Amino acid sequence: MSNSINILLMVLAVNACVLAVACAALYRLNKAVDQFDR
Amino acid sequence: MHLIPQSWSHLHILVSVFPSVGLIFVLGFFITALATKNEVIKRSCLVLFGILALLAIPTFLSGLGSMELLSQDAKISQSVMNAHYYWGLGALAILLITGGYAVVELWRVGKPSDQALKAMLGLAGLTVILMIVVDEMGWEISHHELQRVVTGAEAATATPQAWSHVHMILNHFPTVGWVMALTFYVIALVANNDALKRGGLVVFVILAIVGVPTYVTGAAAMWALTVPPIPEISKAVINAHRDMALWTLFGLGFTGVTAWVELWRYRYIGRFSNTSLYWVLAFAIITLGIMAETGHRGGQINHPEIRVATDVLPTDPTAGISPALELLINNVIWFVPWQTVHFFGFTLIFATVLIVVLRILGFWKSVPFSAVHRLLPIGVVAVVMNVFTGMLMLLADTYRYVVNDYTFAPKIAFIPIGATAVLYFSLSDRLWKLKAGEDAPAFAKAVAILVLVCWAGVIACGRLLPYL
């Protein structure tokens, strides 16, 4: 049981970190071209 | 790594790849220059034809020196070496004519005629074809493992040597190609030529994509060379090469993504940002250094003739980053989180691909292409996520993936095809100008179908891995 909770916590932690970095990168890229978009 | 080769064989291995693989890249730029009528790229290619022709001289001399050295080795076939020599002589002679012709025309008339350019194109193309034959014979000289046939009980666990062969061919493209791309890129920055900058950035992206199958075939080649073991090949030396290959993958990733972002952003801003261009240059130079060391360590695996007395080769097959990562990722607590990221990644890739592809195929014609173009970074970020999580998952059990799973090879083949085809969406002028209500060109539709098939294939083959 405790192993399952550990796996779940790791899944949440790793995914939150990776997806947060991905979202931040995409947000900055999107913002950089916003003013030039047609 | 010793920067200066200390034997003819070492020099030959280093120099000989430029007139062959390097020429393919110059030829690619030359064809682009002829198609786009870009004078700066044409002139750069003619100068590089001349430089590659000059390299024919050290290639020939180091080849002669190597032959003398290798002819004392009873395991080396004299007839294969002679065939390599005569075919090589022919290829280098044509390369010398091509380079000489290019330099003389450039110096004499400044702007060679279309006929002269076509003649150079033909000669360079012929050299490349001959070089492919010469390279194959060259590998046959010292890579006897490629002919190894495993029989009996060991045959069931042996990995086909075709993987080693494919790795040997593939690994020259990111390495030699990188040197050529960097050369063109530096010329572009000095000449301030946007078309050449664009060309350099595109090649960086393509080579970063090629890095994926190169790494994977390398993992397969490791098993082909170690199970059953080959006495003169050390797993510890392979691991040292593998560790550096891991860093190369990061270097290729950083440079490729930075280059792609600049190409993507160019569409909106209409000019390149100097800061970003120099970031790409910095990443490319660092990656080149890492790749040089990776190549050197790779050469040490099966080229005893290039080793020198001062070389200290690793002996512990459990030392290094790759074996440590293998141990770590085999723990379910580390494997599952990265696998979950991998699944998020492919849903993002497929969603982006589907939206862009459906617009090209005629769905949502009310949307201009530039609107879906803005979504492309989502797919690219997801590809990066999946390359690295995929690499981690591969490390968990490389043997099972590359040897036992029938759908792994097609999955890896689909990735570069799909990724390179997506590059077309970022670059195509005709697609970029596609307004709301307009139909996409037939070629774009064909590429769109290819992209959809490739990424669907990647997902399907990936899902089938545990079962086939």
Helix-, strand-, coil-residue percentages of chain A, each rounded to 5: 85, 0, 15
Q: How far apart are the C-alpha atoms of B377 and B355, rounded to whole Å?
A: 13
**Cβ separation of A10 and B337 shorter than 8 Å?**
yes
User: Which residues of chain A have a CB within 8 Å of the CB of B268?
Assistant: 33, 36-37
Cβ-based contacts of A10 with chain B (< 8 Å): 333-334, 336-337
**Chains A, B: CB pairs < 8 Å:** 54
pLDDT band at A1 (very low <50, low <70, confident <90, very high): low
**Predicted pLDDT at A38:** 58
In angstroms, the CA B2 to CA B308 distance is: 9
Q: Which residues of A touch B264 (CB under 8 A)?
A: 29
Q: What is the pLDDT of residues B260-291, one digit of tens each?
A: 999 999 998 889 999 999 999 999 999 999 99
Show which of residues 244-303 on chain B sit within 8 Å of chain A, judged by CB atoms.
261, 264-265, 268-270
Does residue B174 contact residue B244 with C-beta atoms inside 8 Å? no
Smallest CA–CA distance, residue B377 to chain A, in Å, is 7
CB-CB under 8 Å, A22 with B338: no
Mutate to test the interface with A, among B268, B346, B389 (most CBs of A within 10 A): B268
pLDDT, one tens digit per residue, over B47-99 is: 999 999 999 999 999 999 998 888 888 888 888 899 999 999 999 999 999 99
Comparing alpha-carbon positions, the chain A residue that sits nearest to B374 is: A30
**Per-residue pLDDT tens over the stretch B388-408:** 999 999 988 888 888 888 899
Q: State in Å, rounded, how far the first CA of chain B is from the last one.
A: 42
Candidates B468, B466, B465, B428; CA nearest to B448 is B428
Q: Under an 8 A CB cutoff, do B270 and A36 touch?
A: yes
Does the beta carbon of B337 lie under 8 angstroms from any beta carbon of chain A? yes
What pLDDT was estimated at residue B191? 93
Are B336 and A10 inside 8 Å of each other by CB?
A: yes
C-alpha dist (Å) from residue B437 to B364, B367, B428, B443, B444? 8, 7, 18, 18, 16
> For residue B364, what is the DSSP state?
T
pLDDT interval class at B107 (50, 70, 90)? confident
B148 close to A (CB below 8 A): no
pLDDT tens digits, B428-465: 999 999 999 999 999 999 999 999 999 999 999 999 98
Q: Is the pLDDT of residue B3 over 70?
A: no
B255, two tokens? 């440079």
B340 to A14: CB separation less than 8 angstroms, yes or no: yes
Does A33 or B455 have the greater pLDDT score? Answer: B455
**Would you say residue B1 has pLDDT above 70?**
no
What residues of chain B lie within 8 A of the CB of A27, using their CB?
none
Whole-angstrom Cα distance, residue B25 to residue A12? 45
Query: What's the rounded Cα separation, in Å, for the pair B136 and B84?
Result: 9
- A22 → closest Cβ in B268, B336, B385: B385
Query: Is B370's CB within 8 Å of A37's CB?
Result: yes
**pLDDT for residue B25 is more than 70:** yes
In B405-441, which residue ranges form alpha helices assigned H by DSSP?
Answer: 408-427, 429-432
Question: Could you tell me the pLDDT band of residue B318, with boundaries at 50, 70 and 90?
Answer: confident
Asked whether the beta carbons of residue B338 and residue A14 sit closer than 8 angstroms, the reply is: yes
Q: Distance between CA atoms of B352 and B219, rounded to whole angstroms? A: 30
CA of B341, closest CA in chain A: separation in Å? Answer: 6
When the pLDDT of each residue in chain B is averaged and rounded to a whole number, the result is 91
Residues of chain A neighbouring B370 (CB-CB closer than 8 A):
37-38
CA-to-CA dists, residue B136 to B87, B88, B131, B132, B210, angstroms: 11, 11, 8, 6, 20
The answer to whether B374 contacts A32, with C-beta atoms less than 8 Å apart, is no
Q: What confidence score (pLDDT) does residue B414 get?
A: 95
Query: Residue B2's pLDDT is what?
Result: 60
Rounded to the nearest angstrom, the gap between the alpha carbon of residue B232 and the centroid of all alpha carbons in its chain is 28
- Nearest-by-CA chain B residue for A37: B268
Nearest 5°: the CA angle B385, B182, B9 is: 100
What pLDDT is stored for residue B73 in this prediction? 81
- How much is the pLDDT for B109? 73
Q: How far is CA B308 from CA B9, B73, B265, B274, B313, in A?
A: 12, 17, 48, 43, 10
Chain B neighbors of A30, CB-CB under 8 A: 374, 377
Residue-wise pLDDT tens digits, B172-213: 999 999 999 999 999 999 999 999 999 999 999 999 999 999
Average pLDDT for B124-149: 88
More confident residue, B304 or B269: B269
Contact B381 A26 (CB under 8 A): yes
